[in-house]
A and B are shown apart, each in its own frame.
Chain A
């Protein structure tokens, strides 16, 4: 069930013909007819099939890897181990892309040499005539392991004498915020509340496992067609192989879901090595079990909040401690930790603030990017704390939030001044209202309502100096082409560009062709991560289209003997605004402009606002281009006999700035509602001494169609964002408050808080029993 509340901003939309409308996405026809081709669907003559030997233990020395039997197997063309990677055995796992900023040293061995540090670490690569032969070859590889003492808890990892996994002290990253006067803040408080919250590993569980085909072509160019969010990994592949950047061609067809799991390089460099070794095309599709080990899940966090508040609900101080388990390699942990720091205060203004954040290495799975990117975990804790504060001081929790919401012009966690609209209040009010009346408790069912707000960035960290490029051009028949190497990971990244360029140049969306996902043919657009694709590549496309528009209208102004401002482009026509009967078809316009030598295309670059980083002592500085605000509300029932939680209604209300494609926006909200529900209630990777115990889709439980509540999307448009037409990034933001709203609803239903996610029936039942015991004791 979806209703879209008429947005306030839509009143201003009357001049938009395509943007903001419910247009079917232009990638949909290929997908519903089975014609969309994914990385693993490509076939080439002479192609070999690859398999990867992943470590089956988390912490061990490797005495030897015997591949002689595997190599001797007929039909096996290559078996590679660390011993074969003589030139270099390291691949950079830092943030790639169109950034001029510096990078951290986050190198990771391509193949384990004398040590494995986590379950699943790759040890050997095989390419053979068939997958079956490659699998047989894997079975013939003998690894002589010696288990060693590992460390599996991020707090233990920081203790003196702990086994060292990373650097000198297992500290992968640390940040602090020192703002205002924390002692005075607590002294001014009428109440002080301290709570510790913890959250678990979450697996992306995209439906398409990692897949790629690599081959070396007739010009000795290494080509890789891969399921990735980031084609700019071609540079890291080239660096790892010691070849020039311009000799690696990485392209991404449609990607079957990413959610951050295909942000850091996954399988590309393995295939590159095999293709170069065999001189034949090589394909790998990861098994689901190996996929669980091939990217990085969401970081578990432990977060302690100490909050000072006055009796009328003004927060006077916050002291927050955040610890994340980075796992065995750094990957993106430092950045994810920074996001958690910025998100730790939620959407609230806190003038007296003290934050300490640490990401520590262990021999657990290296955690990495996942929708929300640290902000979501931090926000979940903050929004649970807000509910507990409201309970403590006897105030309605929405009132408490209203008392403290950050406002335009206010400094946020890191002192960045908020420039866009902040519609947190409206969003929370609308989301809660949409839940309706809370049903009365009956029999063994207890009902609860919960709400949560958030502040989540879109666009990358500003000192990365992000940019995106796009090319827009009109063809001689009046059709439109966009060339932009954005990767399309399923959120409509490509389709949105057709809508934006079509809007500006008056060409219907179905007459726009977008060439995407191939950076050696199209200008590089940067990553489809960080809720930046629409903001950055959309903006570059908008700039290019506007330049083409200006060129054409200048020429047409001459023709119609009016000023360019008196002309409009729409419905494949140029016409005089005051007198639409004076028009020319776009086709004729292009011809006329061509005859005059007018540029009918443009390559534009869009640069995000830069900054120079944080003050290391105070943690103050501008981190992100901008933020999205909104709320999610949930109605749940809890079976007090079994502890089972059912989400009945789930409502997301968000200020998206401007919807480019309303249906696609709602799709993000709805998908988030269910993914957040999974995080709150059922999803958890279980590790025993670093070894993953539930790495399959039958043991790791993502929500199914039978778990779907009534989901409602409320889309508000302040048009205050930095993206095209005032849009904001939404892919991650709309996910940020979901789990918190469900957790708060469960607390409301059972009258007790559970501090450790997910809220499994066991934990819920234990909390109910504990509460009953306390009440009986009274």
Chain B
């Protein structure tokens, strides 16, 4: 095992300093720092529950070494929106009932956020493909698709009024 090193990562606009060994994943490191909104479902990149944005790009934090995030920006579900300043996705997930047990939800919204950023007008198939790395066992995904479509519409409306 190599010596741990001190790294600095910006998480949800806050600078976080952590001492981590080379083999520690970003998932473990950030959860250890209290960012437990990042969920752990498989530690193998199979389920997407641990998805975060790394410099705006979605990654499975269980497949990303913490050292890899040094000096970079991480966005978790809490960085996407807060109560009172919620992201349209968070609102539509509530309205449609897209969250049941809720364990996949943080990663799912992170993935959906990234999808809408790249493709503001996703077709149903685009959404299906864009979320295919995120497993959900409760909902059958249909409400999730609906929530993403509604959020896309809301973002358009916001864009037009801005």
Which residues on A are within 8 Å of B, measured CB to CB? 1-2, 24-25, 27-38, 40-41, 43, 131, 204-209, 254-257, 259, 285, 287-288, 489-492, 663-664, 666-667, 670-675, 696-698, 702, 704-706, 708, 711
Given A32-B94, A33-B78, CB of A208 within 8 Å of CB of B103: yes
Residues of A within 8 A of B39 (CB): 38, 207-208, 256
A29–B77 Cα distance when bound, in Å, is 12
Describe B's contact surface by its main secondary structure.
loop
Known pairs A24-B95, A31-B102, A711-B140 / 17 extra A-B pairs, C-beta < 8 Å: A28-B99, A32-B89, A32-B90, A34-B77, A38-B103, A204-B137, A205-B135, A206-B103, A207-B39, A207-B41, A207-B104, A209-B42, A254-B101, A670-B141, A697-B44, A697-B47, A708-B128
Q: Is the CB of A208 within 8 A of B41?
A: yes
Q: How far is the CB of A715 from chain B (nearest CB, A)?
A: 14
What per-residue 1/0 map shows which CB atoms of B12-51 lie under 8 Å from chain A? 0000000000000000100000101101111110110100
Q: Is the CB of B137 within 8 A of A702?
A: yes
For the complex, is B54 an interface residue (Cβ under 8 Å from A)? Answer: no
Q: Is the CB of A28 within 8 A of B103?
A: no
Given A207-B49, A671-B100, A696-B42, CB of A31 within 8 Å of CB of B138: no
For the complex, is B83 an interface residue (Cβ under 8 Å from A)? Answer: yes
Q: Which of B65-73, B142-150, B154-162 is the contact stretch? A: B142-150
Closest-by-CB residue of B relative to A206 is B137
21 contacts between A and B (CB under 8 A): A24-B94, A24-B95, A33-B81, A33-B82, A34-B76, A206-B137, A209-B42, A256-B101, A256-B103, A288-B41, A492-B100, A667-B100, A670-B140, A670-B141, A696-B42, A696-B44, A697-B135, A698-B44, A698-B46, A705-B145, A706-B132
Q: How far is the CB of A667 from chain B (nearest CB, A)?
A: 5
A25–B129 Cα distance when bound, in Å, is 28
Residues of B within 8 A of A29 (CB): 83, 94
Range for the number of chain B residues in contact with chain A: 35 or more
Q: Which 7 residue pairs across A and B have the least CB separation, nearest first?
A: A490-B101, A34-B37, A256-B103, A31-B102, A670-B140, A34-B77, A697-B46
Q: Is the CB of B137 within 8 A of A259?
A: yes
Q: Is the CB of A33 within 8 A of B83?
A: yes
Residues of A within 8 A of B145 (CB): 705, 708
Closest-by-CB residue of B relative to A227 is B103
Q: How far is the CB of A439 from chain B (nearest CB, A)?
A: 19
Residues of B within 8 A of A491 (CB): 100, 138
Q: How far is the CB of B89 from chain A (nearest CB, A)?
A: 8
For the complex, is B58 an interface residue (Cβ under 8 Å from A)? Answer: no
A671–B28 Cα distance when bound, in Å, is 30
Residues of B within 8 A of A206 (CB): 101, 103, 137
Residues of A within 8 A of B89 (CB): 32
Q: How far is the CB of A474 from chain B (nearest CB, A)?
A: 26
**Which of B34, B49, B78, B132 sits near A705, CB closer than 8 Å?**
B132
Residues of A within 8 A of B59 (CB): none
Q: How far is the CB of B59 from chain A (nearest CB, A)?
A: 17
A207–B100 Cα distance when bound, in Å, is 11
Q: How far is the CB of B58 from chain A (nearest CB, A)?
A: 14
Q: How far is the CB of B113 from chain A (nearest CB, A)?
A: 12
Closest-by-CB residue of B relative to A700 is B46
Closest-by-CB residue of A relative to B106 is A34
Residues of A within 8 A of B100 (CB): 490-492, 667, 671
Closest-by-CB residue of A relative to B89 is A32
Q: Is the CB of A708 within 8 A of B97?
A: no
Given A35-B37, A209-B41, A704-B135, CB of A667 within 8 Å of CB of B129: no
Q: How far is the CB of B65 from chain A (nearest CB, A)?
A: 14
Q: How far is the CB of B71 from chain A (nearest CB, A)?
A: 24
Residues of B within 8 A of A209 (CB): 40-42
Q: Is the CB of A702 within 8 A of B135?
A: yes
Q: Is the CB of B138 within 8 A of A705?
A: no
A613–B36 Cα distance when bound, in Å, is 47
For the complex, is B109 an interface residue (Cβ under 8 Å from A)? Answer: yes
A30–B99 Cα distance when bound, in Å, is 10
Q: How far is the CB of B102 from chain A (nearest CB, A)?
A: 3
Interface centre among B37, B127, B132, B140, by most chain A C-beta atoms within 10 angstroms, is B140
Residues of B within 8 A of A204 (CB): 137
Q: How far is the CB of B85 from chain A (nearest CB, A)?
A: 10
Q: Is the CB of B135 within 8 A of A32?
A: no
A673–B137 Cα distance when bound, in Å, is 11
Q: Is the CB of A207 within 8 A of B47?
A: yes
Closest-by-CB residue of A relative to B35 is A34
A159–B90 Cα distance when bound, in Å, is 58
A254–B28 Cα distance when bound, in Å, is 21
Given A33-B83, A37-B36, A708-B142, CB of A257 within 8 Å of CB of B97: no
Q: Is the CB of A32 within 8 A of B143?
A: no
Closest-by-CB residue of B relative to A255 is B101
Residues of A within 8 A of B86 (CB): 32-33
Q: Is the CB of B140 within 8 A of A673?
A: yes
Q: Is the CB of B141 within 8 A of A674?
A: yes
A82–B107 Cα distance when bound, in Å, is 40
Chain B residues 104-149 with CB under 8 Å of chain A are 104-106, 109, 127-129, 131-132, 134-146
Q: How far is the CB of A613 from chain B (nearest CB, A)?
A: 35
